Structure 1
Amino acid sequence: MILQDPGDDSMVIATPFKGKPRCFYYNQKINCMPAEGRCIYGGRDYIFSPAASFGVLDWGRGVWTYRNTWYWASASGMAEGQRFGMNLGYGFGDTSSATENMLFFGGRAHKLGDVVFNIPKSGRRYDYEKPWTITDDRGRLALDFTPVIDRAAKINAALIATDQHQVFGRFSGKAVLDDGRVLAIRDLTGFAERVKNRY
């Protein structure tokens, strides 16, 4: 698989941690990277064309707190004939001054405020394989997320623990660009995750 960097806008943020002056996270996420290649799985041959296949690069460095929980969603594809992507996240660090939430359309970034992932629960436990909703605080994002598969991992080894649910699925709904243009999002493939760590 080969990913190309088209030179579009990307998300870059330096996130502090409240009350922890030595902790930070510097992160860049590049959506809508055209992908080209081939994958053989289960006896089937899958061809990826850069005109319709896209990936994301998530690069980061930092000093994290011992306990943290984050929510992150990412998707890249096509909407209304142009490359469309989104990077949505919260919960990790102090985002009171800036968030990582952005839409990408035709190579340009469109900034969002705070977002919320509404993950259904069964009793006190999250039910990751039921449909979610994702919304923002300004009425610019309203998405339904239909899970396909939950890539779950759980480790508890005394001082180190992780509970990860990276759920792959499809997004549908609406997204509003900075100029007020409303995009209809239909079955955009991507993922949404909730990760809780202690390490």
Structure 2
Amino acid sequence: MTERELTAPVALTLPNGRVNPDAIGWARQPIVDTSGIGRGRGRNKRWEYWNVTTPTHILALTVSSIDYAAVHEVWVLDRATERTWSQGATVIPARDFELPAGVETGPARGRAKDLDIEVLPEEGGTRLRARIPDASFDVFAALPAGHERLAVVVPWSATRFQYTVKDVARPASGSVTVDGVTHDVPAGESWAVLDHGRGRWPYDIRWNWGAGSGVSGGHTIGIQVGGRWTEGTGSTENAALVDGRLHKIHDELEWDYDIAEWRRPWRITGGGLAASFTPFYDKVTRTNLGIVASRTDQCFGHWAGTFAVPGGDAVRFDGILGWAEEVHNRW
């Protein structure tokens, strides 16, 4: 299976709201216009998720709208003690937020009681600011010249589809403050990852997602893998980033893991990738409101393995910090 590569800007939707057939494919940059995804249709899902890994902490923010609610979160993990600081908000009806139509086309903001998030495009990258009681961070995610991102349109049908931008291995720097103590987010040792999503989703969906960023063997490595939710669509969200160059993996990957024994190494293979993932922490989230429910295990750990660069040599990597997750949503 080989997906079509998009090389020119294109609209995600047609005037009637259905997916634009010309948008189905993948790109090396976020060139799809999602302004046709708005409120009021009942199935729209829009979000900005950023995660930052540092030698001492893991930081995350989410600004999102699922049509009938705005759902936001700020989360900080101290890697040494496994203590966490977190605050989530579900605002019904959805209000007090901003989400741009495209990556870097405008700010994303989410505000609620005891929570304030700003994602601001700046020259040379993106500013990530978040504040909750007893924790805050201010991080700059640099966008190096020539850095490529994976942008994919996944069609379940003409009326159910998703545009995702997975941007891994963004150099990060700044600070995080917890309980009044400020810690560095040191440049050269910290990495940011973006998940930008815009689409119209089925009610009941399951997925895997894994990402990792770091330096190994003299190469800057980005891992981006997914599964389950793309099966049967003709699209995948799989790629490896080597020194800023994106190598698309068109195959569905094989995931071998047991969430009941999440510390056991996971195996993700296929399309030239042979990777293992060894977790050290499981961020467990459970929500059950009857019709709306969510079950997430986001495991943080380290990636190791090889990737066969098309037309080149196999690249080995080890100690790449990131995560792998299993999610089941009814939304």
TM over 0.5: yes
Cα 1:21–1:180 change in 2 (3 A) is same
Residue of 284, 298, 302 corresponding to 1:166: 298
Segments of structure 2 that go 5 or more residues without pairing to the other structure are: 1-138
Q: Percent identity?
A: 29
Are the equivalent residues in 2 in contact too, given 1:120–1:128 (CA < 8 A)? Answer: yes
Query: Which residue is equivalent to 2:128?
Result: none
1:128 aligns with 2:262: yes
Are the equivalent residues in 2 in contact too, given 1:15–1:95 (CA < 8 A)? Answer: no
| Range with greater deviation from structure 2 (127-136 or 163-172) | 127-136
Matched letter for residue 148 of structure 2: D
CA-CA distance at 1:120 after TM superposition: 2.3
Are the equivalent residues in 1 in contact too, given 2:171–2:188 (CA < 8 A)? Answer: yes
Query: Which residue is equivalent to 1:59?
Result: 196
Q: Highest Rg: 1 or 2?
A: 2
Are the equivalent residues in 2 in contact too, given 1:16–1:94 (CA < 8 A)? Answer: no
SS at match of 1:52: coil
Write the mapping of 1:1-199 to structure 2, written as runs, cut at 5 A.
1-6=139-144, 7-17=146-156, 20-41=157-178, 46-94=183-231, 96-112=233-249, 113-120=251-258, 126-136=260-270, 138=271, 140-199=272-331
CA-CA distance at 1:178 after TM superposition: 1.6
Per-residue displacement from partner, 1:22-49 (whole Å, max 9, x unpaired)?
1110111111111001224578754223
How far apart are the structure 2 equivalents of 1:95 and 1:8? 30
Q: TM-score, normalised by structure 2?
A: 0.54
Matched letter for residue 142 of structure 2: Q
Are the equivalent residues in 2 in contact too, given 1:119–1:133 (CA < 8 A)? Answer: yes
Runs of 4+ more than 6 Å apart: none
Which one has more relative contact order, counting CA pairs under 8 Å at least 6 apart?
Answer: 1
CA-CA distance at 1:169 after TM superposition: 0.4
Per-residue displacement from partner, 1:32-82 (whole Å, max 9, x unpaired)?
111001224578754223323211111010100000000000011112223
Are the equivalent residues in 2 in contact too, given 1:2–1:35 (CA < 8 A)? Answer: yes
How far apart are the structure 2 equivalents of 1:95 and 1:108? 27
How far apart are the structure 2 equivalents of 1:8 and 1:141? 21
How far apart are the structure 2 equivalents of 1:82 and 1:13? 25
Cα 1:116–1:45 change in 2 (3 A) is farther
Cα 1:176–1:45 change in 2 (3 A) is farther
How far apart are the structure 2 equivalents of 1:145 and 1:115? 14
Cα 1:116–1:44 change in 2 (3 A) is farther
Larger fraction in strand: 1
Matched letter for residue 10 of structure 1: R
Matched letter for residue 279 of structure 2: P
How far apart are the structure 2 equivalents of 1:45 and 1:93? 41
Matched letter for residue 134 of structure 1: I
How far apart are the structure 2 equivalents of 1:16 and 1:107? 27
RMSD: 1.9
Are the equivalent residues in 1 in contact too, given 2:216–2:319 (CA < 8 A)? Answer: no
Residue correspondences, number: 191
CA-CA distance at 1:197 after TM superposition: 0.6
